[in-house]
Amino acid sequence: MNGSLPVSTPAKAAELPTVRRWVDTLRTLADPMRCRIIRLLEHAAGPGLRVGELAQALKLPQSTVSRHIKNLVEAGVVDGRRDGTSMFYRLASSTGPSAVRQLRALARDYLAHDEQVQADEERLLRVLEQRQRQNPDFFNASAPQWDTIRTQWFGESFHLEAMLAALNPDWIVGDLGAGTGTMAALLAPHVRQVFAVEPSPAMLRAAKSRIRTLELQNVTLLSGRLESLPPEVQSLDMALISLVLHHVEDVRGALGHIFRVLKPGGFLLIVDLMPHEVEMFREQMGHRWMGFAPGQMTEMLSHAGFVHIRRHTLAARKTRSRQDRTAVPDLFVMRASRPLDVSGL
């Protein structure tokens, strides 16, 4: 090597339009105010947002916002649509130029936790609430898109997580086969104690990291298997086994052991696979059981001593795996209780 710098190769003529688009988009998104506008428009379900609404959320003059919107429209980042006497703006279609889509995603991720942007979004919520009060037909007009609107703002699972607050705050819960601690972390804020039991050391390390990050003081992580739970796991109000039983060789033995660590009146909640023919699960993921038929699971629970057995098939996913387009098996949930101890009556 002679220490000389590499010589750059001039862009080919056919590549110049793409290069110019990148440069123009970079120049447009270099302005932080335009990035804030993009972030607000991420939430612009339905018709979009007016310039005046954006100005209220950003606490800027309408003339300033109009100038930035003009630049964003010219760059292909934002689309405008007239509705009566109003002009609404929303983010351009995701099928637009790749440069725009990539840079828009970068801007969105970068600003996700910015305090100023969060303040913008809080003001936008108030602006949209005001729009709703002024338009009594808002819900009638929004009904076809309502699920999408709510998901864009609050995500797909907030209502399911909120329902966990219905749990008894005095309960002791066992998350048996806890994996990386996802369910334990969801349960912990709503109950007195969670015992998260997992046989895999790698999974336990991941769960420990999750619990430490979330600063959950009432989660105890333990190494153990369903067939031989640690001695600390006793007198559970609820035991949860989510997508675990199909890995267990002796399901009857595991259910019997779980029955013994439940307090009288405590219950077991099982989430698992319906019968299926996805051989990859057995060959590559170590499944011992190819799902469980309703009668099969009921018989095993009854044999273990459980009563009040209920089963519900979860909504069919009707999706296919990204790996090989195999149909994803359906899931079921079952609830079964240990009888109340009536010996002293």
pLDDT band at 131 (very low <50, low <70, confident <90, very high): confident
260 and 122 fall within a common domain: no
| Beta bridge pairs of residue 159 | none
Q: Would residue 6 count as lying in a domain?
A: no
Question: HEC profile for 176-229?
Answer: ECCCCCHHHHHHHHHCCEEEEEECCHHHHHHHHHHHHHHCCCCEEEEECECCEC
The pLDDT assigned to 97 comes to: 55
Q: Whole-structure pTM over 0.85, yes or no?
A: no
* Residue 63 CA: distances (Å) to CA of 60, 67, 103, 207: 8, 6, 25, 51
- How long, in residues, is the chain? 345
Where are any strands of DSSP class E within the chain? 78-83, 86-91, 172-176, 193-198, 219-223, 236-242, 262-273, 307-313, 331-337
| Beta bridge pairs of residue 313 | 332
Greatest mean pLDDT among 129-138, 148-157, 192-201, 273-282 lies in 192-201
For the chain, percent of residues with pLDDT exceeding 90: 42
Residue 69's CATH number: 1.10.10.10
The pLDDT assigned to 8 comes to: 44
Write the pLDDT tens digit of every residue in 67-85.
998 888 887 788 888 877 7
Exposure string over 22-33, b if 16+ CB within 10 A, otherwise e:
bebbeebbeeee
At residue 4, the 3 state secondary structure works out as coil
Is pLDDT above 70 for 129? yes
Q: Mean pLDDT, to the nearest integer, of 39-67? A: 84
Interatomic CA distance for residues 150 and 210, integer angstroms: 27
pLDDT band at 107 (very low <50, low <70, confident <90, very high): low
201 and 136 fall within a common domain: no
Write the pLDDT tens digit of every residue in 305-343.
999 999 999 866 665 555 555 677 889 999 999 999 754
The pLDDT assigned to 258 comes to: 96
191 and 270 fall within a common domain: yes
274 and 326 fall within a common domain: yes
Is pLDDT above 90 for 255? yes
The pLDDT assigned to 1 comes to: 47
Its domain, for residue 59, covers 17-152
Q: Would residue 2 count as lying in a domain?
A: no
Interatomic CA distance for residues 52 and 127, integer angstroms: 10
Is pLDDT above 90 for 284? no
Q: Would residue 329 count as lying in a domain?
A: yes
123 and 49 fall within a common domain: yes
pLDDT band at 49 (very low <50, low <70, confident <90, very high): confident
216 and 294 fall within a common domain: yes
